[in-house]
Chains A and B, each alone.
Chain A
């Protein structure tokens, strides 16, 4: 097994367990590369990649761009805010125009769920989904699992709770798929209004009591409230949410065991976690960011090797 089973990375749902293992093994090598004094390898020098972002992003965009540059690919950056999309151009037209400039791979973030899947059926390029609405964010889930594997040795058999706004979170869905595929036990925790109605059908459990959830888990992945996607009021006030579902140092120190704290960012300090939790030695938030570059290098390298 030395090849991905897919041509695009549209979601974790389309991956097999051995794909994830191959991505992790490849990321191990790239992690070594990016810790050298010269952090660049020439593998993708004849590949051009367009980063097309229809939605704002800091971490993911920088991480992808850095990963691409460290692989020596040529990089085009495009944000919808300053583009012809504003003038009424369709998604396929926009992307086909970019591809006419001989682009081999497209990394896309889009507010509509399924945008990447749609695109992969209509254009001739390798597509990497960098987040499509509330659907999936596969590279985030891969780097989250990779960070758990790095910290705890293995993902299989570990108890992971995802806390917060599950309903609007693509990170949650991708993480659930990835963790289940690797044999972890998964619970979600949050106010009922922010949990999708049939979430249990994914083979996971719901726990609405934060302390119980934290005492059960090895890893807590804390999600932010996606205020930009809250169309109606899902909880009375942010303050009340924090009282019920925010993790502070007192809660953390009173647990039965030492758990690992993760966060995909951006953090709303003082809402889902307090600063002393985010910056504690139990937090691997900045490791996640570092691993993000290695994971994205691995994904791009493995997908690019299938471009003929």
Chain B
């Protein structure tokens, strides 16, 4: 097994700022927008972006929610393990809002398919966009593409992208791991 650094802490920081600016360009004051981090790992990206937007770009208020998609996944009973859920926390209405789904790695697109179904339980958003930190292109199972992407990666299926966060893993770093 070998691993190489895909993005360093500094690079992640630059990319997050760029993504924040791209969001800002399209959503301006965020009054009509909701950022939804997908559980478990998209939450870190969503929290960081929200923090950068507030602290560095003076956005007053952002509706930030966390969505768990476990019960909407299409692989229930198809693997060996029971799918374990995380918590959902959306304490605002998404009805009529511009929703940005946020995840760390976009791979097959199946999680996003599940998230598109799951978010409907909270109302009918005006539109839904997708932001992903790492986009593993050429490995999609479904016709899903991000509106905002941090870095595009051509990883083969055996390889794994591992995203680590200061809050959870001690430091910000992204590895590409090959067996």
Q: Quick one: given A36-B121, A302-B82, A305-B77, are A29 and B72 in contact (CB under 8 Å)? A: no
Nearest-CB residue, chain B, relative to A33 = B71
Majority-rule SS of B interface residues: loop
B88 touches A305 (CB 8 A): no
Cβ–Cβ contact B82 & A3, under 8 A:
yes
A37 to B123, Cβ gap below 8 A?
Answer: yes
Report yes or no: A42 in contact with B117, Cβ–Cβ below 8 A: yes
Does any Cβ of A come within 8 Å of B139's Cβ?
A: no
Q: Inside 8 A of B71's CB, which chain A residues have their CB?
A: 29, 33, 41-43, 71, 301
Nearest CB of B to A73, in Å? 11
Q: How far is the CB of A41 from chain B (nearest CB, A)?
A: 4
A29 and B68 contact, Cβ closer than 8 Å, known pairs A2-B82, A3-B81: yes
Assess the B88–A43 pair: CB atoms within 8 A: no
**Secondary structure class of chain A's binding surface, majority of residues:** loop
Interface residues in B81-127 by Cβ distance below 8 A to A read: 81-88, 117, 120-123
Q: Does A304 contact B (CB under 8 A)?
A: yes
Minimum distance in angstroms from B117 CB to a CB of chain A: 7
In whole Å, how far is A248's beta carbon from the nearest beta carbon of chain B? 41
Q: A32-B87, A306-B82 are in contact. Are A41 and B72 (CB under 8 A)?
A: yes
Asked if A252 CB lies within 8 Å of chain B CBs, one says no
Task: With A2-B81, A38-B121 as known contacts, state yes or no: A43 contacts B87, CB within 8 Å.
Answer: no
Count contacts between A and B, CB distance < 8 Å: 53
Taking a contact as CB atoms under 8 Å apart, the answer to whether B76 and A305 are in contact is: yes
Contact with A along B117-147 (1 / 0, CB 8 A): 1001111000000000000000000000000
- Whether A305 contacts B72 in the complex (CB less than 8 A), given A29-B88, A32-B87, A38-B120, comes out as no
Tell me if B88 and A307 are in contact (CB < 8 A).
no
Residue of A nearest to B84 (CB): A2
Chain B residue with minimal CB distance to A307?
A: B77
Using Cβ atoms and an 8 Å threshold, which residues of chain A touch B68? 29
Q: How far is the CA of A259 from the CA of B164 in the complex (A)?
A: 47
Interface string of B152-170 (1 = CB under 8 A from A): 0000000000000000000
How far does the alpha carbon of A40 sit from the alpha carbon of B72 in the complex, in Å? 10
Determine the chain B residues whose CB is within 8 A of the CB of A21 once the complex forms: none
Is B82 within 8 A of A43, CB to CB? no
Given contacts A38-B120, A42-B117, A43-B76, contact A28 B84 (CB under 8 A): no
Q: Return A129 CB to nearest CB of chain B, in Å.
A: 20
A9 to chain B, nearest CB (A): 14
B88 contact from A32, A38, A40, A302, Cβ within 8 A = A32
Q: At the interface, yes or no: A281 with Cβ under 8 Å from chain B?
A: no
Shortest beta-carbon distance, B169 to chain A, in Å?
21
- Chain A contacts of B84 at CB under 8 A? 2
Residues of A near B88 (CB, < 8 A) are 29, 32-33
Cα of A302 to Cα of B83 in the assembled complex, Å: 9
Which residues does chain B contribute within 8 Å of A26, judged by CB atoms? 85
CB pair B77–A42 under 8 Å, yes or no, is: no
Known: A302-B82, A304-B77. 6 other contacts (CB 8 A): A33-B121, A37-B121, A38-B121, A40-B121, A43-B71, A46-B77
Q: List 9 A–B pairs whose Cβ atoms lie within 8 Å, in order of A's numbering.
A: A2-B81, A4-B82, A32-B87, A33-B71, A33-B121, A40-B121, A41-B121, A305-B82, A308-B77
B positions within 8 Å CB-CB of A: 68, 70-73, 76-77, 81-88, 117, 120-123
